[in-house]
Chains A and B, each alone.
Chain A
Amino acid sequence: MARTRTSIELHPDGCRLVEVEVFGSGSRARAAQDARVRAFVPSVPGAKDAALAAVLGRLRQERKLSRDAWVTVWGLRAVHQLLRLPPAKPEALESIARREARKELAVLEAGGGAASVAVVPGSDVQVGAHRRREVSLVAVSAAEIQERIQPLIDAGFVVRGVVTPALALAAISRLDRAGRGTVAYVATVGLATCLAIVRNGVLLFAREMPWGHQSGNRDQGSGVRDQGFAEHGSGTESRIPNPESLETRLASELKRSIMFFKQTFRAPVEAVVLCGDVPNLRALTGPLGEALEVPVETLDSLVGIDAASIPQPAELFRAEVAALRMAIATGADAAPAANLLPKTILESREARQQIVRFAGAAVVGLVLAAGWAVGARQTLASQHAERDAIQRELAIVEPDAVRQASLRESYTLAASRQAALGAFDSQGPRLARLLETLAASTPDAIVFTVVDVQADGTSWRVSLRGMAVSSDAADAQGAVNTLVDRLSASPFAGAPVTSPSRRVLTPRGTGITGAPSATGLGRPAPIPPGMTGVEFSMLLRVAK
């Protein structure tokens, strides 16, 4: 959701306001979009503070206007000065600028009050052999600002920033995508006129004149600033618009100011841009253009404003758009170049915000710590509950379980002992069974030569050696295989532990004497003539 801001333009005899969506920060974001106006009030009468506060407060609540407000204040005693300063760090520019403009600031601080100063850095320029930084300094009396914005604060607005009309015109120039050079922006309202000459968004020259399109003829030609606004605005005849006298007077004042600028800054004004609430503003362009000999434009179209979302009543908005330009430009700028809100207010707000941040952080920390502690305690409580439950259960079932386990253990031991006694007593019969199994499993062709039984733990290792004799070697092999199969199938013998060793002998081979062969069968037994023998040896493991 876009952030909105209420931008209020305070006139000597009232105000106007708009609620706009604030642009994203950065010049690219600003250049990429048009200003989106949510609501507007073209004119709020009420010169008296209490009445103005009441009206604004009601408006804010009825229209649900944003409390964040930027204010353009007409009629302030202000110092606008362009300074050319030696190269310095950005943070040091303000103090240097203050030092340079100390005489002008002293006038504002004459009554003992502080001056509120805003410094807008410009571009670097070459002055003779030196490089200088252009800095636009604007200063106003802090006490005067506080006095002027008080009705807004009373109305419930939180004033975030204050600018002069000249700074508001500079804000318009920053939103201008045409990219003009040095331009004179002129805003004329009922009882005042402001001229701001701007280049690249930096205010070069400013002049605020206490007459406007509703001023009578009696102050024509004066233009002296300290006549103030108070004498204007009363009397019906003085509020009758007088376009002829306005264009003449405006042309004369602009010509004089532009001439002064040209002589002082050695730079021409390339165009004049008009805005304000002058009826039929466009009618001024012709006479002014002829008098000043520069192009004159008006800001009475929707250029730079999102036409798809203009507020209602749309016709009224279109009619008043030139008057609302300054408020729109000031409100839409996410990071205005200058802010004249007194430092005391900014610092006290910053301090309050810091306190709020600290308090919030402390609350977050406390919540986290408390949550952690509560979680740990709950875990501990559940562990205690589980421990108690298990202990209760153990108190009931464990004695019986231990007794049962003990009985089972002793009975198992007794059964094992009985089985062992039985096994000790039946060793002889078991060997007799083995011999019987050997006799029953041995084919006729086989003769055992050695049966050797050796105790090995709870079993016997039984070595069998013998010979199968047949007229055919294959038959003899088959007899040995038959013996192995039968022993494997018997519960009293079992399969050989390793594959049986075998040696095939013929009558000729039996005469050989010498070292035992790899089969470990020893000296070959004699084989009858015409027969073939297969000597074998195998190892069984029989349970005792």
Chain B
Amino acid sequence: MKIDLLQLKRYAPYLVPLVIVGLGWFVFVRPTVTESTRVERELEGLRQRAAFARSQPGGPPPAEPAGDPMKAFERQVASDDPSGRLLEELSRLAARTGVHVDAIENGDQGSAAEAGGPAVSGGVMPDPRFALFQTPLKYSPVTLTADADYASLGNFLWQLRDLATVVEIRSLAVTSSAETPGDTAPAPGTVRVTLTVFAYSRTAAGEGA
């Protein structure tokens, strides 16, 4: 490429500042800007931490809730299969509240998948609040079939607490006599009740799902 010296001389006064500014950038400004960028990133993190720290209200820490819910959970949830005791309690409760039980049966014990965990085909997702306790659980389905008048059924459900273990009412079907065909039809004034609960128990250490 041929360089016209005359042209170069003419434009040199304009090129000189550009060259000097360019050199100044490479020698002085760029390292500073690089450092500045690094410090700015560091500052972003610090600002977030400071904002978090400032957002925490001062003064004494909040009051601790009374009791230890984990211990209460461990106390309330049986460590072994509670279905036998539960069947007994349900039978007593039904008799006490005027619910005429046709059958109470328990099913096979299964592992409860934790909420938020991977869904298993055919698996049962328990109430997601069990995940708060971070305890592996097993469940035993218990199904009660009975006839009862409406008030007795209400009474039965009202007293369905403080059982041998924590239960989850999975389903309740109340059917009038008109809807129940054949020999199983309840007597007039009563309803057919099908109640399914999961009786939970803790999994022993090392006993995987």
User: Does the CB pair A453–B173 fall under 8 Å?
Assistant: yes
Would you call B178 an interface residue if the criterion is a C-beta within 8 Å of the partner chain's C-beta atoms?
A: yes
User: Does the CB pair A525–B17 fall under 8 Å?
Assistant: no
Partner of A380 from B12, B35, B129 at Cβ < 8 Å: B35
List of A residues within 8 angstroms of B32 by Cβ: 373, 376-377, 379-380
Q: 1/0 per residue A379-420: CB within 8 Å of B?
A: 110011011001101100110111111011001011111101
Would you call A50 an interface residue if the criterion is a C-beta within 8 Å of the partner chain's C-beta atoms?
A: no
User: Does the CB pair A383–B36 fall under 8 Å?
Assistant: yes
Q: 1/0 per residue B149-172: CB within 8 Å of A?
A: 010011111111110001111111
List of B residues within 8 angstroms of A452 by Cβ: 171-174
Would you call A451 an interface residue if the criterion is a C-beta within 8 Å of the partner chain's C-beta atoms?
A: yes
List of B residues within 8 angstroms of A417 by Cβ: 69-70, 73, 132-133
Known: A358-B16, A361-B17. A425 touches B128 (CB 8 A): no
- Ranked nearest first, the 9 interchain pairs of A and B with the lowest CB-CB distance are A369-B24, A428-B160, A365-B20, A365-B17, A417-B69, A432-B157, A420-B129, A401-B56, A401-B53
Q: A367 to chain B: closest CB distance in Å?
A: 9
Chain B contacts to A: CB under 8 angstroms: 9, 12-14, 16-21, 23-25, 28-29, 32-33, 35-36, 39-40, 42-43, 46-47, 49-50, 52-54, 56-57, 61-65, 67-70, 72-73, 76, 125, 127-130, 132-133, 150, 153-162, 166-176, 178-179
Tell me, in angstroms, the Cα distance from A436 to B155 when the chains sit together: 10
Residue on A with the closest CB to B64? A411
List of B residues within 8 angstroms of A408 by Cβ: 61-62
User: Does the CB pair A450–B173 fall under 8 Å?
Assistant: yes
User: Does the CB pair B65–A458 fall under 8 Å?
Assistant: no
Would you call A372 an interface residue if the criterion is a C-beta within 8 Å of the partner chain's C-beta atoms?
A: yes
Q: How large is the interface on A (under 10, 10 to 19, 20 to 34, 35 or more residues)?
A: 35 or more
Residue on B with the closest CB to A418? B69
List of A residues within 8 angstroms of B33 by Cβ: 376
Partner of B176 from A358, A413, A447 at Cβ < 8 Å: A447
The majority secondary structure among interface residues of chain A is helix
Partner of A415 from B47, B65, B73, B153 at Cβ < 8 Å: B65
Would you call A312 an interface residue if the criterion is a C-beta within 8 Å of the partner chain's C-beta atoms?
A: no
List of A residues within 8 angstroms of B39 by Cβ: 380, 383-384, 387
User: Does the CB pair B21–A368 fall under 8 Å?
Assistant: yes
Partner of A391 from B9, B46, B153, B155 at Cβ < 8 Å: B46
| 23 A-B pairs in the complex with CB atoms less than 8 angstroms apart | A361-B13, A362-B16, A365-B16, A365-B17, A366-B24, A369-B23, A372-B25, A383-B40, A393-B50, A398-B49, A416-B132, A417-B69, A417-B133, A425-B161, A425-B162, A425-B166, A428-B157, A435-B154, A435-B157, A435-B174, A447-B178, A450-B175, A544-B127
User: Does the CB pair A414–B20 fall under 8 Å?
Assistant: no
Tell me, in angstroms, the Cα distance from A191 to B101 when the chains sit together: 152
Tell me, in angstroms, the Cα distance from A402 to B55 when the chains sit together: 11
Known: A417-B132, A421-B72. A390 touches B21 (CB 8 A): no
Partner of A411 from B40, B49, B62, B162 at Cβ < 8 Å: B62
Residue on B with the closest CB to A464? B174
Tell me, in angstroms, the Cα distance from A26 to B22 when the chains sit together: 39
Given A403-B61, A416-B132, A417-B132, 19 new contacts (CB under 8 A): A357-B13, A368-B20, A369-B20, A369-B25, A369-B29, A372-B21, A372-B25, A383-B36, A401-B54, A404-B61, A407-B61, A420-B69, A428-B156, A428-B169, A435-B154, A436-B154, A449-B176, A455-B127, A457-B127
Would you call A471 an interface residue if the criterion is a C-beta within 8 Å of the partner chain's C-beta atoms?
A: no
List of B residues within 8 angstroms of A368 by Cβ: 17, 20-21, 24
Q: A140 to chain B: closest CB distance in Å?
A: 28
Known: A387-B46, A424-B127. A525 touches B178 (CB 8 A): yes
Tell me, in angstroms, the Cα distance from A290 to B176 when the chains sit together: 149
User: Does the CB pair A397–B171 fall under 8 Å?
Assistant: no
Partner of A418 from B65, B150, B176, B178 at Cβ < 8 Å: B65
